[in-house]
Amino acid sequence: MSTLPLTDAPAPPALPAVAEATSGSPDSLPAPDPASAPPVRTPDPEDTAALSVWPRTTVERPHGALLVGGVPLSEIAEGHGTPVYVLDETEVRERCRGYRTAFPDAEIHYAAKAFLCRAVSRWVAEEGLGLDVCSAGELELAVTAGFPAERVLLHGNAKSPQDLETALRLGVGRIVIDAPSEIARIAAAVGTGGHQKVMIRVTPGIGAGGHRKIRTGTDDQKFGLSLRDGHAQHAVARVLDQPQLELTGLHCHLGSQITDVKPYLVAVRRLVGLMARIRDTHGVTLPELDLGGGHGIAHRPGEPALDLAALARKVRAELAGSCAAAGLPVPRLLIEPGRAVTGPAGVALYRVLSVKRTPGTTFVAVDGGMSDNPRPALYGVRYVPRLVGRHSTADPERVTVVGRHCEAGDIVAEDVPLPADIHPGDLLAVPAAGAYHLSMASSYNLVGRPPVVAVHDGRARLLVRRETLADLRVRDVGL
């Protein structure tokens, strides 16, 4: 695959073409008789490359049908309407297992900001991962769904009083300190007889990430305490003076969509150097080191993705070597993947509303857009939609797929090939859509947010229902 390689992960189980849906279940789609389904077409190499950024359970059938998790995407669109997001449970679970295999001695925390719902929190808990949250809302949702609070890590550059109160009330495992003022606030909230494990987020002065707006390891942005100017060392001293706070280690997060291993190795060297200075100055050996996440995936065939096996191998070697040189024991490693777990597991489905041909561009307008996926407008992310549900023999045409919202920047995919006979009513599918779509969604133009449907072993079930006009009206209390 072009997405994050999980070479050590177990192979996906053989899936039936379409399994029988649970009778009478409102959240399941009726499935056709497998015996009547046409045989699976053996894709040519070009087709295989085109599916490289799709969930690994994806199967193509004749006449344009595409199945994910054993369920035809066209049936999901018909049963739940569009736009709709499809999340492959098998893909999510296998990516969790892939991380545990690659880092067997590390704690893996799923970054909830990528996408969180009760089912996802249950999946990652059952796969042995912890959870990385950045608000009381994410924390409450996970814990009330049964996620163990002691396996949760809370961070954020500006934690509200509600965030800290909720974290302490529910008993989170660690709180990551991001600003000097948080030290006194957390210590006061814990109280003289209390105890709370904390980490300090260090800004190591490393520029990495797919776009300047998602680079968080440099000194010129809002996150963390700088290693270069001494703020991190000063924060360490202040935390160590608070007996109710237990400093377990250092945390850093370099950015997002990182596809090169080297920045992580530089971060290891710099943070181990700081750990050695803390030992020499305070006589304290910190037992944990959190390298964050930001592991890049491919959104289009041929794009680079971070090699997980190489990352794990080289980080372990660098950590062992740096600690040996500094005379430190190797700390327990924490890793926080988000996008790399759910991103490749998601597919967005849209219905074409109109096709407008101008002298310079053909615009294909769909029934979603920047309200359910703001990332093209924010970061210039590029996708390759695919026509599903029918087979076209028309030659491809370069088009721009746009959304329905009143913004010129509401673009789903720019200058992409689609059949020249694309027309209203057609169904388009966008792969690599499982992270930072719905988690960043809005109700712009009072368009409700789409539902999320999970697929697994030939069945589909609703995880998050569609936001309706009634939902939006209930919040408007100003008459």
Residues labelled catalytic: 406
Contacts of residue 52, defined as CB under 8 A and 6 or more positions apart, other chains included, come to 1, 2, 3, 298, 301
Q: Look up residue 386 and give its DSSP letter.
A: E
Q: Are residues 112 and 139 in contact, defined by beta-carbon separation less than 8 angstroms?
A: no
Handedness of CA 80, 84, 88, 92 (dihedral sign): negative
DSSP element (H, E) containing 188 = helix 180-190
**Which tokens hold the place of 45?**
């190499």
DSSP string for 318-355:
HHHHHHHHHT-PPPEEEE--SHHHHGGGEEEEEEEEEE
Task: Decide the pairing of beta strands 107-111 and 84-88.
Answer: unpaired
> What do you get for the CA distance between the two ends of the chain, in Å?
54
Contacts of residue 478, defined as CB under 8 A and 6 or more positions apart, other chains included, come to none
Q: Are residues 230 and 202 in contact, defined by beta-carbon separation less than 8 angstroms?
A: no
Q: Measured between alpha carbons, how far is 196 from 204 in angstroms, rounded to an integer?
A: 25
Q: Are residues 285 and 279 in contact, defined by beta-carbon separation less than 8 angstroms?
A: yes
3-state secondary structure of 267: helix
Q: Measured between alpha carbons, how far is 373 from 364 in angstroms, rounded to an integer?
A: 16
